[in-house]
Structure 1
Amino acid sequence: MTALLDIIRGFRTAQGEALRLSGAGEVPYAAVDPRHMRIEVAAGGSAQLVVVHTGPGMSSLDIVLAEDARFEMTELFLAEAFAEVAVRQAARSRCHMTAVQLSSANVSYTIDLDGRDAENRLGGVFLAAGQEHCVVRLRTNHNVPDCRSMSYVKGVAGGTAVGEFCGLVYVAPDAQHTDAQQQNRNILLSETARITTQPQLEIYADDVKCSHGATVGQMDSEAILYMRQRGLSEAQARRLQIEGFVGDIVRRCGIGPLCEAAMDAVIAKMEKL
């Protein structure tokens, strides 16, 4: 965790309740334990933001992207927190978000695609150990035609931990040519852990391409056996499988210096699963 926080200290500090950005932001902003913040990215502007929750509390973020804006956000939960994130995107804007829960947390994302050719990508990971409880809620509203959304959330739970995913893709009437993909994949590491998943589609247009799916399963026993035959212990084999499962999301967080440090924090968390 120390390396992760050291990297964040090198970013610009996002202070106050409003952050208005224009132009091309070369250095990411960082917000630690924000209570309420509104982020506005001007037309044609680009920005990166890291949000870190280090203690219990409530948090709300309102993100507004103007036309042709580019925005990347990584949200890290290092302690229990309740967070709400609302995103509104104008025409041709691009938004990439990554959420990593390493503690009990409850996060809700509401995404409104309000302008043509807007695109949103969200990748999420939660790792729940002991008696932890991780919740991810996601609603993506395709309010106009010709927009794209892709969400991929993965969960891992051990001990008596609980994980929850509830996702909804809404396609408004006449929001033709919508392209929406929603996937949720989960692994249980014990007989007492539990993960519930509820992906949903609500579609009121007829010329769309939408898909959703969810799985909850155990670790791949054949893959573990294969790795053990090559000299790895069972614990090492399990760790490598989990690392591969969540690593494809964490390592693509979009903010280069942060990705490997976040992955190191994930690996440390895996020791407790």
Structure 2
Amino acid sequence: METILDIIRRFRTADGEVLRIAGVEAEPFVAVDPRKLRVEAAAGASAQVVVLHTAPEMSELRVELAEGAHLELTELFTAEAFAEVYVTQAAYSRCRLTTVQLSSANASYRIDLDGADAENELGGVFLAAGEEHCVLKLHTAHNVADCRSNSYVKGVAGGCAVGEFCGMVYVAPDAQRTDARQQSRNILLSETARITTQPQLEIYADDVKCSHGATVGQMDAEAILYMRQRGLSEAQARRLQIEGFVGDVVVRCGIEPLCGAILELASAKMEKL
């Protein structure tokens, strides 16, 4: 299996502080430990961008999607980075964002849907072991009518680790026919681990479909027993369950070799949980 670095060496480097995307790009762009990066996608443009954090640095990423632009953004944390991401979307634009924290990290996402029929999907995962502290904050603003958003964040914590998710969906007074969904699901692997989750809605329109939910629980004991009855050890059964739990988020990143490498890193991290 190729490593993350092996894979991203095949991608084009996002040099400088501004990445302008003018057309349909078949090959992904990559930025490693960017201090500041601005991604501008022109009307009708399409691209994939990977941001890799390998050092404990501050990072600011701004994404602007013009009318009809499509962007797939994958952000991976393997070090204790602090990242702020701002996404603004014009009419008919599409943005799919996958964020994975494999170490202590603090990531904040602000998404503004500013044009009709804009759509945003965010999938997030954090795996916290030992005394690590993972934080994921999300603010999705439906500023106009007829937009859609869907966020699903999953967390796993073991040892004395702490995980935090704070999500807000804001619906402006004129943002009728909004469709917004937000879900947070979490698993604790020890009595000393802690995960807090705060999904919130702030709605000022009356013709909307909005939902949110959150769970924090233990592993599925019946599923583990079922797998052990079929020859797996308890450790194997626990690992398989966690892999399935986080894997359905990771595989949506849309870059197949990268997804496999991230899952390999996640599996290695599970040995420490």
Aligned to 2:51: 51
Deviation of residue 5 (structure 1)? 1.0
Does the 8 A contact of 1:80 with 1:104 survive in 2? yes
Q: Name the aligned partner's letter for residue 30 of structure 1.
A: V
CA separation in 1, counterparts of 2:178 and 2:10?
39
Residue in 1 aligned with 2:88? 88
**Unaligned regions of 5+ residues in structure 1, if any?**
none
Instruction: Tell me how far apart the structure 1 counterparts of residues 65 and 196 of structure 2 sit (CA, whole Å).
Output: 32
- Establish whether residue 258 from structure 1 lines up as the match of residue 261 from structure 2: no
Matched residue count: 273
2:107 is matched with 107
In 1: Cα distance, 2:202 partner to 2:96 partner = 23
Q: 1 CA distance for matches of 2:174 and 2:89?
A: 18
The alpha carbon displacement at 1:255 in A equals: 1.8
1:190 to 1:231, Cα distance in 2 relative to 1, 3 A:
same
The superposition leaves residues 120-174 of structure 1 with CA deviations (integer Å, 9 ceiling, x where unpaired) of 0000000000000000000000000000000000000000000000000000001
- 1:118, CA displacement in angstroms? 0.1
Aligned residue for 1:217? Answer: 217
Q: Which amino acid aligns with 1:217?
A: G
TM-score (norm 2): 0.99
User: Percent of counterpart pairs with the same letter?
Assistant: 76
Normalization by structure 1: what TM-score? 0.99
Equivalent position of 2:125 in the other structure: 125
SS in 1 for 2:175: coil
- Alignment-derived partner of residue 195 in structure 1: 195
After TM superposition, which residue ranges in structure 1, 4 or more long, deviate above 3 angstroms? none
The residue number in structure 2 matching 1:39 is 39
Aligned to 1:246: 246
Residue 146 (structure 1) aligns with: 146
Post-superposition CA distance 1:219-272 (Å, at most 9, x none)? 001111111111110000000000000000001112222111111111111111
Secondary structure of the corresponding residue to residue 190 of structure 1: coil
- Aligned-residue CA RMSD (Å): 0.8
For 1:2 and 1:75, the matched residues in 2 are separated by: 18
Alpha-carbon distance in 2 for matches of 1:28, 1:179: 30
